[in-house]
């Protein structure tokens, strides 16, 4: 039996101060982000989606809304789809800017493999995998759509592909409103397909 679980990164966020907002409340979609959500809803309108679930964060819930509405579904919430915890939350962290230039922050950067500044990559992968298998079971024989965030989606993909989890963030293949689709035969993962229904975006721009 074939089941597909689509991992959708949320759309662009209204973030005029360009901070790393992480799990902070109150960060919803920008006007462009709302258009991206509608574009994805149109792109998957003909899909056999029977289950829509999202991270509890506002931007993910808002991205999920048009898709669930188009399929006459409610948006479920799974805490395991949430953004990764990060000690730099609420600060500017662009390279050469803000918090990363402060010596008091440097101890947090001591181990990029774990990483030392936030939630360990392996823990992210494991919680995301649990959310995916719950969604797969809920949509058994059909399609599920899970709205999450760039780092959790990319970490899970690397885990499933057997690659090391630490990586260069500038090379993530996970644009805003992109789909990373996991294809299952019964409970076995047989393929991963990536697509960008709303177009490509720069992975170096803060917008996790």
* Domain locations along the chain: 2-195
Q: In the structure, what pLDDT confidence band is assigned to residue 71 with cuts at 50, 70 and 90?
A: very high
* DSSP calls for 20-61: --TT-TT--B-HHHHHHHHHHHHHTTTS-EEEEEE-SSHHHH
Sheet of 179-185, strand order: 75-77, 49-54, 143-148, 2-9, 179-185, 188-195
Superfamily of domain 2-195: Phosphoglycerate mutase-like (3.40.50.1240)
Q: Are strands 143-148 and 75-77 parallel, antiparallel or unpaired?
A: unpaired
Condensed to tens digits (0 to 9), the pLDDT of residues 84-131 reads 999 889 888 765 666 667 777 778 888 988 998 899 999 999 999 999
Q: Are 19 and 84 in contact (CB under 8 A)?
A: no
How many residues does this entry show for the chain?
208
Calculate the alpha carbon distances from 80 to 53, 66, 90, 127, 130 in Å: 11, 22, 21, 5, 8
Please, what is the average pLDDT of the chain? 93
Confidence (pTM):
0.93
């Amino acid at each position: 039996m074939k089941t597909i679980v689509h991992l959708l990164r949320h759309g662009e966020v209204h973030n005029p101060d360009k901070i790393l907002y992480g799990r902070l409340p109150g960060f919803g979609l920008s006007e462009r982000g709302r258009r991206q959500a509608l574009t994805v809803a149109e792109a998957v309108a003909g899909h056999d989606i029977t289950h829509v679930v999202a991270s509890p964060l506002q931007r993910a819930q808002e991205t999920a809304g048009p898709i669930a509405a188009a399929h006459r579904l409610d948006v479920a919430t799974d805490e395991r789809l949430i953004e990764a915890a990060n000690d730099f939350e609420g600060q500017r962290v662009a390279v050469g800017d803000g918090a990363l230039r402060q010596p008091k922050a440097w101890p947090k950067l001591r181990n990029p493999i774990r990483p030392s500044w936030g939630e360990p990559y392996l823990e992210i992968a494991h919680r995301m995998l649990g959310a995916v298998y719950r969604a797969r079971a809920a949509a058994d024989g059909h399609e599920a759509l899970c709205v999450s965030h760039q780092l959790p989606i990319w970490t899970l993909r690397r885990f499933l592909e057997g690659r090391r989890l630490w990586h260069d963030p500038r090379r993530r293949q996970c644009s805003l409103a992109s789909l990373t689709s996991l294809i299952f035969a019964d409970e076995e993962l047989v393929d991963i397909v990536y697509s960008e229904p709303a177009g490509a975006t720069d992975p170096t721009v803060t917008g996790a």
